Amino acid sequence: MASYSTNEFRSGLKLMVDGDPCSIVDNEVVKPGKGQAFNRVKIRNLKTGRVVERTYKSGESVEAADVMDTDLQYLYNDGEQWHFMHPETFEQMAADKTAVGDANLWLKEQDMCTVTLWNGNPLAVTPPNFVVLTVTDTDPGLKGDTSGGGGKPATLETGAVVQVPLFIAIGEELKIDTRTGKYVSRAKG
């Protein structure tokens, strides 16, 4: 079984902690002038997203987590699972609700997503930073209002609801920042 010694610890390293795959966020060496050295690390649980602190005796080995990021194309949702495909090998993979989480608000068929795999199975799905989605419902657009001063909610094709300027109408394509869930602009072209 692969493992890492504390002297290999660095941000981004993937470890198994209490049976869950985790990623190191911060690593600090605690070494008194006299006495035992420790590594105090902040780790993000990749299943829950929670960040916790852990201490290891320096020199100790910790089991590595078989975690890797792959770029896959989102195909479709069958009602229970979200299906992805590798663009070159055409290998398909299905992710469940736990892995997809809030990403389902931004998943559009054909878009490339980052799928984090743990032991070969989808653990988390990260949508592209920006997606283009069509407005399926919103109050009628106000002609001539280009100031963008006010705002109104708009429902997008994925079901996500975002605040948009008053001039946006049904059927328009919008650019959304998935990290903040905010409207950026009308899609060009």
Partner 1 sequence: MTQWQASASFELIRLRADTLRTIRSFFYKNNVLEVDTPTLSSATVPDPFIESFQTQYVPLMQTMQTNHFYLHTSPEFPMKRLLASGSGSIFQISKVFRQGESGKKHNPEFTLLEWYRDGWDHLQLMTEVDQLLTLLLSPHLDLGETRLLTYEDAFQEMLGINPHTANKKDLLDCTEKTGLANVLDEHEDKDRFLELLFSHIIEPALGKSNKCEQSNKPYICFIYHYPASQASLAKTSMHKGQLVAERFEVFIDGMELGNGFHELNDAQEQRQRFEKDNQTRKIMGLKEIPMDEYFLEAVGALPECAGVAVGIERLLMVMSQSQHINDVIAFPFDRA
Site residues, partner 1 (CB under 8 A): 7, 27-38, 40, 53, 55-58
By beta-carbon proximity to partner 1, the closer residue of 28 and 69 is 28
> Shortest gap between Cβ of 3 and partner 1 (angstroms)?
17
Q: How far is the CB of 119 from partner 1 (least distance, A)?
A: 24
User: Which of 38/130 has CB closer to partner 1?
Assistant: 38
Work out the end-to-end distance of the chain between its first and last CA atoms, rounded to an integer number of angstroms.
Answer: 52
Q: Which backbone phi and psi does 172 adopt, to 5 degrees? A: -75, 155
Separation of alpha carbons 53 and 64, rounded Å: 17
Tokens encoding 128? 């592209």
Least CB distance from residue 84 to partner 1, whole Å?
37
* Residue listed under structure tokens 């780790």: 43
Give 179: exposed, middle or buried? Use CB within 10 Å, 0-12, 13-18, 19+: exposed
CB 42 to partner 1: min, Å? 13
Sign of the dihedral defined by the CA atoms of residues 120, 126, 128, 131, in that order: positive
Which C-beta is closer to partner 1: that of 22 or that of 113?
22
> Six-digit token pair at 74?
């989102």
In this complex, which beta carbon is closest to partner 1, that of residue 56 or of residue 74? Answer: 56
Kind and range of the H or E run holding 179: none
Residue among 42 and 186 whose Cβ is closer to partner 1: 42
Cβ of residue 58: shortest distance to partner 1, in angstroms? Answer: 8
